[in-house]
A and B are shown apart, each in its own frame.
Chain A
Amino acid sequence: MSAAGNWRLSPQPGEVIDRSTKVNFTWNGTAVSGFAGDTIVSALMANGEQLMSRSFKYHRPRGVMTATFFDPNCSFQVGNEPNVRGAHRLVKDGDVVQAQNAWPSLKYDVRSANQAVGRFLGPGFYYKTFIKPQPLWPAYQKVLSTFAPGGKPPAIGTPHEIFDKRYAHPDVLVVGAGPAGIAAAIEAGRAGASVILVEEEYEIGGHLRFGGPAELAHLATLRAEVAALENVEVLTDSVVSGRYDDNWVGVIQRSGVWSKERMIKARVGTLVVAAGLIERPFVFEGNDLPGVMLSTAALRLTGLHAVKPGTSAVVFTANSTGDAAIERLTQSGVTIARIVDARKGETIRRALGRGHVSGVELGNGSKVQADLLVTATGWTAPTSLLNMAGDRPVWDATAARFSPADDLPSTVMATGGILGDGTTEELIAHGRAVGAEAARRATGAAPVEIPDLGRDPHPALFQSSTVGFVDFSEDVKNKDVVSAAKEGYDSSELAKRFTTSAMGPAQGKYEMINTMAVLADATNRDFQSTGTTVWRPPYAPISLGALAGRSFEPTRVSPLQGWHEAHGVEPLIAGQWIRPEHYGDPQAEALNVRTNVGIIDVTPLGKFDIQGPDAVKLLNLVYTNQWDNLAIGSVRYGVMCAEDGVVLDDGVTARLGEDRYLMTVTSSGAATVWEWMEMWLQTVHPDWQVLITPITTGMASINIAGPNSRELLSRITDIDLDPQTFPYMKVREGVVAGVENCIVWRIGFTGELSYEIHVPASYALHVWETLIDNGQDLGISAFGIEAQRILRLEKGHLIVGQDTDGLTQAHSAGLGPLIKQAKEDFAGKQELAWQEARDGDYPHLVAIETVDPALVPPEASQIVRGNNEIVGRVTSSRMSPTLRRSVALAQVPKNLSTPGSRLTIVLPNGSRAVAVVREDLAFVDPEGVRLRG
């Protein structure tokens, strides 16, 4: 501690600490204690600590400046949480608090030597010093990153905390609970509106909280009034992060909920911005020394936390808040060494001292000894949310601050300090009128008259004649802004980026106006034409956890999911679906299908019941092949293409009756295909009579595959399975395992004799277990998606999106025989005709065999020729348990697609493998004997 002893004042009327509850924590390894209600910073200051951090670039000693969330000098490491805002965060028993950005210790920071080489760290130093030679950048980065500010993120494996989300629809949302904001919430609430009042700090009240007896009396009344209204919800320690189109408002609730943080997404009727004013620092030499602070910081520390900020003070004041600080400091036993009154033309030149303020040099050159320098030089209107609503604030030279222009949408209003000045009574009266009008606008009652809230004249004070900091987070001085302007970066947006002023954690709240003032001076412009940058969301930093929050994405599972889990399934996350990847050994599962029989849950398969006299027209339009001649009781494979001829989806569709079809599509394509078909029906052919009903989850789907599948199914169904009467690519409806209305069809994705049963979902488990029970002597086992992928690859069946991509037109996938150009119209017809005319000059999907049968080239491995020119890629590859060698599909150009072509595949380790193109896509049973059996 720099000045040991007790810096705690006697009880103050507005204090927020609980002196009966002691809190013990450590500060850089030393045991310290404070009271419940203390922030980390107030507890440290009560123990005499004034040195809070080292600055970003020059590692200068820094102390409390604003005593708010955004204090640029008070970010700490607390336990494993970095960048904790120590002037906001309440200290907890057992906290391990450490200074950031200091090495080897806060007191003796080696890198403060950066100050001596400061001329190399001037504006744009990154761009200038380290730009060449380019190959050295990684080395530069390594060194520079050790100088970067910030704490240590939690180690990988640290249990993560829980973040939540909430949606809200208030009539009125009030941002900021100072006197005007509270009054607005009260009046809106009294008018019957549902209201949310959001306050950044832990208690409502704004500057009334650290005011005198009159302010505290007003606050007590307002608190009682707001507490009496059930329709006003007060959120403290919460911040509005942004305002978006149609009053979509983000609120981060940091405490008061069960989760670490909660993001509230609110659709607001009327947004009332009562964000108050932010006190602006003054630029002068030594303005970053510990012991230099804002008048509001002195009022907060004394009034809220009963901490004495120094022993002997110089107060540089230009307004009533500075005057109030003088009165409060006097009451707190601080000697007022000198009052420097800007309204009388007095000023300060520099703060004196090394490591801490020891005196002040005044404008007239005289020096005053003091350990505290308080400045009250003016205000910045935090117009962020108004900016986000389209408002472009105008500079009020008389009040020396920006004010909202009169161009807000009717759904956004402003009240309080952000708009104008007044007595507490006037602020409250204005807030009440705005609140009533906000409620009226949101609920449609009669208009309310709003009084004027003028702005008080205020001297325009930005910088002294000396060199000091405009940005404390980024270590940018006024002279840096001047040199940026001299180098041509005289637009405010350019100067900001070149110097990085206002680009640190406070995002311009303290820095922006001073930067603009220095730039205006340096370029001989007035304020308005120098401009200000537009504040964008977020207003305050948001943790990534809060943004990620809780996911409301639904999870879909089949009715068999419980069975899978009870049988050791390895789950596969496929979009919203959780599917069985395998049950332990996918190679064995695949082999069992080839030798005995297996069953797989394929419920996520997209299924559409399509009915109506024009149903076949729809099929002819969305599929490339011919559907007019499909007989009732038959199944056909079809391919869908988009209008650019690119393969969109594939699947089988059965004709169940005269005008009734069951279409299946890929699980991942189901939503797209449904919308695609509806688009054709609703916007191109609204006269067609077709009704599409998705039955994906209404019917569970079980595929039985393997040589024993007919024997197995015959044991539990009355459907005639004789291959003469129920051959390949036919469909039957009937009873399976006692369940009526099952649809059974013979298809063969796996290349084996195979039946797929679509069963009403609530009976799926019964049918599945009946199959398992009846298949014991037939060698039945369940198989998962991975075994199915192996089996279909052995058979050379493509998967859309795996073996095709966003550029694969149908002829490239070997689907030419399924394209019927004779049809009058179908999606993709034109492009596919032009593709066909290219005489094979396009990529081709081929089956390939590596020369080394044990080598499985990873999927997406590139195929190269000549001088490493990439000409294709492996789209699917697996070790085949049936053939005991690797099998793969690949996309290759025309001249490498003929059987026998030798391909060079680049493996991930950089080595090359050779593979040969096969005659047929199918590795197993190319003649289709097994699946037609």
Chain B
Amino acid sequence: MIIIDCPHCGPRNSTEFRHAGEAGHKRPVATTDPAEWRYYLYVHDNPMGWTRETWFHGSGCRKFFSAERNTVTNEFRWIAPFGQGPAHTEESGA
């Protein structure tokens, strides 16, 4: 079980958190195209390597926060309050 360093609470067991999805997918609220909507709902990049994502600290501060994680090594490059991570980086998948 990995440790996740919550930006509000500090390092905690990953069982306290829920992965809340890849970041950067904009909700196409005005779309009239089912294909576009369902692409947003169901299709994810799921890269092998670095990815930006949202996490939820359900058993702690109950805050959503942003992070960049390597899906191979589970290493976190940064963890920040929601929407406050560094700008897009070259290696970043998202």
Binding site for B on A (CB under 8 A): 244-246, 248, 267, 643-644, 675, 678-679, 682-684, 686, 825, 830-831, 834
- What is the CA–CA distance of A834 and B18 in the complex, to the nearest angstrom? 31
CB-CB nearest in chain A for B81: A682
CB closest residue in chain B, given A643: B41
Residues of B within 8 A of A245 (CB): 1-2, 74
A72 CB, min distance to chain B CBs, angstroms? 33
- The answer to whether B54 and A683 have CB atoms under 8 Å apart is yes
How distant is the Cα of A834 from the Cα of B74 in the complex, in angstroms?
Answer: 39
Q: Shortest Cβ distance from B61 into chain A, in angstroms?
A: 11
Give me 9 other A-B pairs in contact (C-beta within 8 A), A246-B3, A675-B62, A683-B20 excluded.
Answer: A244-B1, A245-B1, A678-B64, A679-B20, A679-B56, A683-B83, A830-B31, A830-B32, A830-B37
Q: A643-B41, A678-B64, A683-B64 are in contact. Are A248 and B56 (CB under 8 A)?
A: no
Q: Which residues of B contact A (CB under 8 A)?
A: 1-3, 13, 18, 20, 27, 29, 31-32, 34, 37, 41, 54, 56, 58, 62-64, 74, 82-83
A246: chain B residues at CB < 8 Å are 1-3
Instruction: Classify the interface of chain A: helix, strand, loop or mixed.
Output: helix
Contact B27 A684 (CB under 8 A): yes
Residues A682 and B82 in contact, CB atoms below 8 Å apart: yes
Evaluate whether A831 and B37 lie within 8 angstroms (CB atoms) in the complex, with A244-B1, A245-B74, A679-B20 already known: yes
| Chain A residues within an 8 Å CB radius of B32 | 830
Residues of B within 8 A of A644 (CB): 41
A267 partner residues in chain B, CB cutoff 8 A: 3, 13
Which residues of chain A have C-beta atoms less than 8 A from B31's C-beta?
830
Asked whether, in the complex, the Cβ of B3 is within 8 Å of the Cβ of A675, the reply is: no
16 pairs of residues in contact across A and B, judged by CB atoms under 8 Å = A244-B1, A245-B2, A246-B1, A246-B2, A246-B3, A267-B3, A644-B41, A678-B62, A678-B64, A679-B56, A683-B20, A683-B64, A683-B82, A683-B83, A686-B83, A830-B34
Specify which chain A residues have a CB less than 8 angstroms from the CB of B83 in the assembled complex. 683, 686
Return chain B residues, CB-CB under 8 Å to A830. Answer: 31-32, 34, 37
Please, which residue of chain B has its CB at the minimum distance from the CB of A692?
B62
Q: How far is the CA of A267 from the CA of B15 in the complex (A)?
A: 13
Nearest B residue to A694 via CB reads B62
In the complex with contacts A684-B27, A830-B31, A679-B1 CB distance below 8 A: no
Q: A682 with B63: in contact, given A245-B74, A643-B41 (CB under 8 Å)?
A: yes
CA A643 – CA B39 in complex, angstroms? 12
B65 and chain A: residue at smallest CB distance: A682
A145–B48 Cα distance when bound, in Å, is: 44
Q: Which residues of A contact B2 (CB under 8 A)?
A: 245-246
Distance between B10 CB and nearest chain A CB, rounded to angstroms: 14
For residue A360, give the distance in angstroms from its CB to the closest CB of chain B: 52
B-chain residues with CB within 8 Å of residue A683 when the two chains form the complex: 20, 54, 64, 82-83
> Within 8 Å CB of B18, what residues of A?
675
How far is it, in angstroms, between the C-alpha of A831 and the C-alpha of B36 when the chains are bound?
A: 12
Residues of B within 8 A of A248 (CB): 1
Which residues of B have CB within 8 Å of A684? 27
Distance in angstroms from B39 CB to nearest chain A CB is 12
Residues of A within 8 A of B1 (CB): 244-246, 248
Chain A's closest residue to B40 (CB) is A643
Q: How many Å lie between the Cα of A244 and that of B82 in the bound state?
A: 29
Q: When chains A and B are docked, how far (Å) is the Cα of A825 from the Cα of B31?
A: 11
CA distance A831 to B74 in the complex (A): 35
Report how far A299 CA is from B29 CA in the complex, Å.
76
* B64–A679 touching, CB < 8 Å: yes
Q: How far is the CB of B4 from chain A (nearest CB, A)?
A: 10
A675, A684, A830 interface centre (most CB from chain B within 10 Å): A830
Give chain B residues whose Cβ lies under 8 Å from the Cβ of A643: 41
Query: Which residues does chain B contribute within 8 Å of A825, judged by CB atoms?
Result: 29
Docked CA distance A683–B41 (Å): 16
Closest 9 CB pairs of A and B: A245-B2, A682-B64, A248-B1, A246-B3, A830-B37, A246-B2, A683-B64, A834-B34, A825-B29
Nearest to A674 among chain B residues (CB) is: B62
Chain A residues contacting B3 (CB-CB under 8 Å) are: 246, 267
Most chain A CB neighbours (cut-off 10 Å) among B13, B18, B31: B13
| B37 A675 Cβ-Cβ under 8 A | no
- Are A675 and B41 in contact, CB atoms less than 8 angstroms apart? no
Minimal beta-carbon separation of A624 from chain B (angstroms):
15
Residues of A within 8 A of B37 (CB): 830-831
A813 to B55, CA, bound (A): 32
Query: Chain A residue with minimal CB distance to B33?
Result: A830
How many Å lie between the Cα of A886 and that of B31 in the bound state?
46
Bound complex: CA A683 to CA B83 (Å): 8
B residues in contact with A831, CB < 8 Å: 37
Please, which residues of chain A bring their CB within 8 A of the CB of B13? 267
Measured between beta carbons, the chain B residues less than 8 angstroms from A679 are 20, 56, 64
- Closest Cβ of chain B: how far from A492's Cβ, in Å? 25
> CA–CA, A65 to B62, complex, Å?
56
Q: For residue A675, which residues in chain B have a CB less than 8 angstroms away from its CB?
A: 18, 56, 58, 62
Kindly state the separation between the CA atoms of A683 and B65 in the bound complex, as whole angstroms.
9
